[in-house]
Structures are given as C-alpha cells and as structure tokens.
Amino acid sequence: MALQQSIPVRLQFGSSGEFAAEIDAARVALFRPGPRAKADAADAVHRALASPIDLPTLDQALVPDDKVVIALDRGVPAADSIIAEIWSYLERRNIPAENVTVLQPAAVFAGQRVDPRSKLPDSVRDSITLKTHDPTEETSCRYLATTSGGERIHLATELVDADFVLTVGVTEFDALLGYRGTSSVLFPGLSTVDSIKRTIGQGHQELSPREPRPLRQIVDEIAWLMGIQFSVQVVPAEAGGFCSVLAGSSDAVFARSRDIVTDEWLISMPERVQTVIVAISADASGHSWQQLGRTLAMARQLVEQGGRIVVLSEISAAPGEGIELLRRIEEPDDALQPLRSAMPPDMQPALQIASAAMWARLFLFSQLDDGLVEDLFMYPLAELSEVERIIETSSSCALIGSAQHAFGIVE
C-alpha cells in the first residue's frame, strides 16, 4: 500500500480568510481544524431546553410575575436563538416581558455588540430590557454576602433584586479560571470596578485547566450564595459557531460542557514541534487582541524553544493601553515589570505576546500596520505563500484552526 505523500490542509481565519495547501505528510505532526459547528442553532437550543440536565423544564422553576434576570456573557454564539427560546418558557409561565432583563457584563474591551433580542417577536423585543453593567455608576452594585475567604461581594443591583437568575455563556478554556462558564459571567464582570481590577492578570498558564484556581473557586461560591440553579452553556466550534449546547442544573451543565471542551479542544502532543501554524477565526466576541494573546499562549505550549509560531488572522483592531506600552519596550523580557506595574485592562494579551516572543520567533498575517507588528516582536507576513515557505523549511509542524479556543500540552 502506497504511503500518503501529502496532506491537504485548509484553515479558515478572520471572517473570510483561508489558507489552503498540500503539505508533505512527513512534516505534519498534527492537523486540527476544530470541531464543526451545528448547522441549525435554533433546533439545537430548542432540544437543550426541552430536555434540561438534572432539572425540570425552565417554566416549572418560575412563578408568574417573577422578576427574571438573564445573565448573558459576552461572546456567546447564537445568543439570539438562546434568548428567543428562553422567552418561550417565560411566556408559558405568564412572566411579563417588562419583568425580564438581559444583563451583560461590563465591557472591559471594546468589541462588537449584537442585540440578543433580535429573534424575539416585535411585540416583546422592546419590552425586555437589555442592559450592559456599568460598574462606575454609584448605584450599579449592592452588597450580596461575604465569601468564606472574607471577601465582601457586591454584584449588579439587578442580580441582587431578581426573583430568578439564570446564566447563559460559553464554556471554554481560560487562563485565569481554568474553564470559563456558568457562574463566571457573574464575577467580576457584574461586580465593582475594584473587583474587575483585582482580576486583571496574566493567568496561570503553568497549570492544567482542571487544577484549582482561586478565581474559579470564588465565582462558584458566589453562585452558591445566590442560589443559581439553571444555566445554558454552549461549547464553541470552528468559524464562530458552536458544537454543543446544554441546559439545566448549573453544576451538571458545567461538568458536562467542561468534558466536551476537553474532548474537542484540548491538544496533547508527545513532543514539541519546530513550527506551529495557528488560525484565529472571527467569532461571537469579534476578532481582537485578546484572541491573539490566547492563541499565542496556546501555541507557545506546543512549539520548541527558538521555534516558529505563525498566526493567521484578519485582526485590524486598534491597540489598547497595554499593547501600546509593549510597543515602547526594546526587548520582550523587559515588558513584564512595566505591565504588571501599570495593570492596563489589556495586560493579559500584552503579557502573552511578550511571553511567546521570549520563547519563539513570531510571524503574523493580519491587517495591522507592519510597523506595529514589528514593534510587538513579530514578523509581518504580506502573502500566504510565505506561510508555505515557512512550512517547507520545517522538520515538524502543527496546524490548528480557531486556535483561540484550544489549550495545548506536551505529554
């Protein structure tokens, strides 16, 4: 039987970019384009809410005239389908639309915003309140409780005053939390300015996702203090879609969605490779520096020291305070202390870029100015043919699609 001589590779990036090539099979240690997205989002959401995990259907948990808050995290694929399906259960229980608030966390980073009420009937859409939490407003938060660790927790007034709160979000890897999902929408994004500032950081890249994280323990305790029971979670897929949607008991949904994330997005390799090619797709949270930072942090885990990381993107976003600070520094290893002292909102992606640049050579295909890319210790790529030439001079390579969702480990 003839051995395969080449592997056809296709990676989507941004909203419309695509890298396609035939690569020598001997050079490819891994090719992971990401899980396929569900074709019918409305049907997937309907099925999940019709058969919730470890709980009866949502309408049975409600009392007519309840004040309901849907804590909707940012960057949730098919959020409009989820809100529309949730409303069908609230309506069934005679909850007035005026009693329903869709509450989103504070916008630490500028990004796209899509109205999640867009699939609601016209008669309902404007009656349901859509609000972004603003922690700078004097009356935006109220005291909830004190954690077992002695931290006084203040949350959005709407949450504290609600009769029923359900959380809607994305379950995925997160540098600070291990796994983002369920109760992480509540804190710190729906808390005070001080709480948000205290959680700005580089994360815990040295830990595996399942190892305990202080912030994850806090958000889970907050959910317990609030009595949160019902959650809807999606697991991201390639190209901005989702591969799974789950509803039901918050604890059970988080456990099951976390397992799906691990199965679909954990990349485990026996050894590091010389070159990692990573594609960043535009998704429900946009196409941003935060995605670039997460992608570089993941690729750094898989590439050998002094190797090459090639990022495919269509990023054009203006740099934030932390990225601008990084531009003014001569060497990446000199960036850590100034960033930690300044604590800018985009400290995490700036640190992730610097950390990756200290470990490997970085190449970026984007819509950014070449001078900006070079200031950030990366080589700008003008043509996709340059990516093929890099691969041709690599003894081993890994190619990963929608890499902002992945987590890489070397066994």
Counting Cβ atoms within 10 Å, is residue 146 exposed (0-12), middle (13-18) or buried (19+)? exposed
Is the pLDDT at 1 greater than 50? The verdict is no
* The pLDDT of residue 3 is above 60: no
Average pLDDT score over residue span 178-193: 95
Q: DSSP code of 402?
A: S
316 or 112, which is more confident? 316
pLDDT score at 213: 87
- Residue 356 in contact with residue 296, Cβ under 8 Å? yes
Whether this prediction's pTM lies above 0.85 is answered by yes
For the chain, percent of residues with pLDDT exceeding 90: 86
Structure tokens at 76: 């949730």
Average pLDDT over every residue of 152-175: 96
Tell me the mean pLDDT in the region 145-169: 96
Per DSSP, the three-state class of 27 is helix
Ramachandran angles phi, psi of 184, nearest 5°? -65, -15
- Mind listing the domains of the chain with CATH numbers? 6-32+270-410 (3.90.226.30), 41-262 (3.40.50.11440)
Residue 171 burial by Cβ neighbours in a 10 Å radius (0-12, 13-18, 19+): buried
Two tokens, residue 155: 């949350």
d(CA 363, CA 395): 17
Distance between CA 232 and CA 52 in Å, rounded?
9
Query: Is the pLDDT reported for residue 12 higher than 80?
Result: yes
Q: Quick one: pLDDT at residue 2?
A: 47
Closest CA to 163 of 259, 82, 67: 67
Sheet strand arrangement including 68-72: 129-132, 100-104, 68-72, 164-170, 230-236, 242-249
**pLDDT number for residue 201:** 72
With a cut of 80, say whether residue 4 has pLDDT above it.
no
Indicate whether 232 pLDDT > 80.
yes
Average pLDDT for the chain: 93
- Rg of the chain over CA atoms, in angstroms? 22
Q: Label residue 202 by pLDDT band (50, 70, 90).
A: low
* 183: helix, strand or coil: helix
